[in-house]
Chains A and B, each alone.
Chain A
Amino acid sequence: MAQPLMNVAPNRPPSLPQGPAADESAPPREPAPRVTKFDVRDLNFFYGAAQALFNVNLSIPQQSVTALIGPSGCGKSTFLRVLNRMNDIIEGTQVAGTVLLEGIDIYGKDVDVVALRKRVGMVFQKSTPFPKSIFDNIAFGPRIAGLKDKRALAEIVESSLTRAALWGEVKDRLQESALALSGGQQQRLCIARALATNPDVLLMDEPASALDPASTSRVEDLIFELKENYTIIIVTHNMQQAARVSDSTAFFFNGKLIEFGNTQKLFTNPREQQTEDYITGRFG
C-alpha cells in the first residue's frame, strides 16, 4: 500500500487501518476523536532571511478535511508545502521545528523525499496537466515508481479516474490530449493523477479558485467523498468553501497560526478577535 518513508523505519507504529471500513460510519460533521496524521511542533519557516511561519503548532487528524484560511501572504500555502517538502525546491528556504507524519519526522535525515511525496499527494491551484494523453497523465506516477505492467497500469488509471469522478466523461478518449479537457475536468484529472500514486494524504492549494461554480461544486463533492479514505488539507480563499467542506479549520495571519479548531465552532463562535474580523470580512 503506502510506500515506506525511510529505508529503515525504526519507530514506525504498526500501520493504521485505513479505508472506509475503519471509519466506523461516524457522522461526517461530528468531530469524533481521530488519530493524528500530521503533528507539527514549533514550526518556523524562512525564505532566506524573511520568516514566513512563526511557531506553528498543529495536529491534523486522519481521514478528515482540514481547511487553511487567511489573507494572502499569511503563510497558509507555505505551510501546506511544508507538509510534502515542496519548499525544498526553492533555494534558500529553511525549516526549523518538527513535522511528524505518523510519528516520523519528515525532515529527518533518512527520509526519502520522493517516497514522502508519493504518500502525500498534492493538487495545485492552477490545473497542471502534462502535455500528454489522459492515460499517460494518470500513469505517470505509477510508471516512475517502476510499474510497467500494462494491465495493472490500466486498472490504476480506471480506479483513479473513477475516484476523481471523471471516468465516465473520459473513458472513451483516454488517448486524447489532457489539454483538450475543460478547466474543471483538468483539475479533476490532476486530482486523479495525485490519487494514482496511492497517497494517504492529499494537499490541495486552492483547487477550485480558477473554476466556474458548477465545476467548483463538483470538486467540493469530490473532496467530501475522498475524505472517507484520505486525509485532506486544503488551502482556500473562499470561506463558504472552507465551511462547506472541512471538518476543522486553521486560521493563519502574518505567518502565525491564530486559531485552529472545529470548523463549525470557528465560524460561528471564534475564540480570537482576529479570526472574527477575518471571517466577517472586516479585513483580508
Chain B
Amino acid sequence: MNAPAATARPADWLESGKREGWVFSTLCWLSTWSSVAILLVLLVAIVSQAWGWLDWQFLTSFDSQRFPDKAGILAGLWGSFWTILITILVSVPVGVGAAVHLEEFGRNDRLSRIIQVNLANLAGVPSIVYGILGLTAFSRMFGLFGEQGLIPISEINLLGWQIPIPFGKSVIAGALTLALMILPVIIVASQEALRAVPPSIRHAALALGATRWQMVRHQVLPAALPGIMTGVILAVSRAMGEAAPLILVGATTFVLYAPGDISSLADIRENPEGLLRAPFDSFTVMPIQIFNWAQQAKADFREHVAAAGIVVLLGMLLLLNATAIVVRNRSQKRMKY
C-alpha cells in the first residue's frame, strides 16, 4: 500500500456497511440455491430408483399385487384424468363466476366482506377436512337417498342417463370434493387478477354505452385471463397431487380397470357409453397408487415401482405447469397496458 496513511484505512462506518451487504447477499444466494439443490437431489434419487422400471409396460398395465415387474399405473392415469377433468369443469366456472360477482357486481357491504374473510380461511383448511366433507355430502349425501335413506331412490334418470345416488365411492364424488377444495384458491386468484385490470378500462367501456356484463365479458375478463389461468393451473396441480381427501371419499387403492372400462382410444369406439358411465365408476388416482406401493411388503414395490409412479406424476405436473406458462405468455403478449 502506497497510499498515504490517512486514507489507507477507510473509516469504520464505510467498512461495516460493506460487510453487512456481503453477508446478506450471500444468505440470499444460499436460500435460493439450497431449495434448488434439494429438489435436484430428490429428482436424481427418484429417477435413479425408477430407472429400468419406468417403461412402456409400466404406463400401459394395470396394477399387480404379486409381481412388481408387472405392475403399472394405467388405472391411476385414467382415474386422475377423469377426476381432474370433472374437477376443472366444476371448479373453474363456479370459481371464476364467484370472483366476477365479488369484484364486478357485488356491493362492498358487510356480507361480501364476511365472504371475503371466509374465502381466505377456506383456502387454508387442510385437505383431509375436505375429504370428510366430501364423504358426507357427495359419497353418502347425508344418508338421504338409497335403500335405507329417507328418500328410497338409488338413481336419477336425467334424459336417459342413469345417475346413481348417492355417489358412493365414485369419480364424481372425489372430483366434487377436490373441486370444493380448490375453489377458494381459484376464487382468490381470480379476484387478484380482476383487481389488476385498471379501472380506466372499465370506465372507458361503460362510457361507450356498454352494460356491466358487456364490460366484463369483452374487456375485463380477457384482460384478467392470464392471471386467472395461473391461479387455476396452480390449484389444479395441487388437486392432482392430492391423495388424502380421495382416500376418505373412498377411492380404491387396488384397481384393475379404468373408469367406464375405457383404457385406450379404441375402447371409446367400441364402448361409447363407457364415457357416460366413467364419472360414476369406482377409481384410483396416481398419488393413491404411489401411496399403496410405498406400503407394500416387497422391496421392489417400495423402492422401484413407487419411484416410477412418482416420476410419472411429476412429469404430468411439470407438463401442466409448462402448458400454463406457454398459454399465459402468449395471451400476455397481446395485452399489455
Contact = CB atoms under 8 A, between A and B. Distances in A.
Interface string A162-200: 000000000000000101000000000010011001000
A235 B244 CA distance: 62
Contact of A194 (B108, B201, B202, B207): B207
B208 A194 contact: yes
Nearest to B200: A128
Interface stretch (A23-31, A39-47, A103-111, A116-124): A116-124
Interface string B14-51: 00000000000000000000000000000000000000
Interface in A77-97: 84, 86, 89, 91
4 smallest A-B Cβ distances: which pairs?
A131-B335, A118-B209, A122-B207, A128-B204
Counting chain B CB atoms within 10 Å of each CB, which of A84, A91, A117, A124 scores highest? Answer: A117
B223 interface: yes
- Sorting the interface of chain A by its residue count into under 10, 10 to 19, 20 to 34 or 35 or more gives 20 to 34
Given A91-B108, A124-B203, A128-B200, A197 B208 contact: yes
A140 B208 contact: yes
Interface in B193-229: 198, 200-211, 214, 218-219, 222-223
B218 A177 contact: no
Contact of B209 (A91, A132, A197): A197
A130 B210 CA distance: 13
Contacts of A177: 334
B188 to A, nearest CB: 23
A126 interface: yes
A144 interface: yes
Contacts of B206: 86, 89, 117
Contacts of B108: 91
A131 B334 contact: yes
Given A114-B210, A124-B200, A194-B208, A144 B107 contact: no
Nearest to B332: A131
A91 B112 CA distance: 15
A114 B209 CA distance: 5
B9 interface: no
A270 interface: no
B110 interface: no
B56 interface: no
B54 to A, nearest CB: 44
Contacts of A144: 208-211, 214, 218
Counting chain A CB atoms within 10 Å of each CB, which of B205, B208, B335 scores highest? Answer: B208
A145 interface: yes
Nearest to B337: A131
Counting chain A CB atoms within 10 Å of each CB, which of B201, B204, B337 scores highest? Answer: B204
Contacts of A131: 201, 222-223, 334-337
21 contacts: A84-B207, A89-B203, A114-B210, A117-B209, A118-B208, A121-B208, A124-B204, A126-B200, A128-B200, A128-B204, A130-B204, A130-B219, A131-B201, A131-B335, A131-B337, A141-B208, A144-B211, A177-B334, A179-B336, A194-B208, A197-B208
A279 interface: no
A177 B219 CA distance: 14
A258 interface: no
Contacts of A118: 208-209
Contacts of A145: 209
A243 interface: no
A204 to B, nearest CB: 11
A177 B223 CA distance: 14
A122 B206 CA distance: 10
Contacts of A86: 203, 206-207
A132 B205 CA distance: 13
Contacts of B337: 131, 179
A183 B207 CA distance: 20
A264 B63 CA distance: 91
A115 interface: yes
Contacts of A193: 204, 208
A117 B208 contact: yes
Nearest to A131: B335
A190 B204 CA distance: 9
A131 B211 CA distance: 19
A84 B203 CA distance: 12
A118 B207 CA distance: 8
Contacts of B204: 124, 128, 130, 190, 193
Nearest to A116: B209
A128 B210 CA distance: 15
Contacts of B209: 3, 114-115, 117-118, 141, 144-145, 197
A144 B211 CA distance: 9
A236 to B, nearest CB: 18
Counting chain B CB atoms within 10 Å of each CB, which of A121, A140, A177 scores highest? Answer: A140
Given A89-B203, A117-B208, A124-B207, 10 more contacts: A3-B209, A124-B200, A128-B201, A130-B219, A131-B201, A131-B223, A131-B337, A140-B218, A144-B209, A144-B214
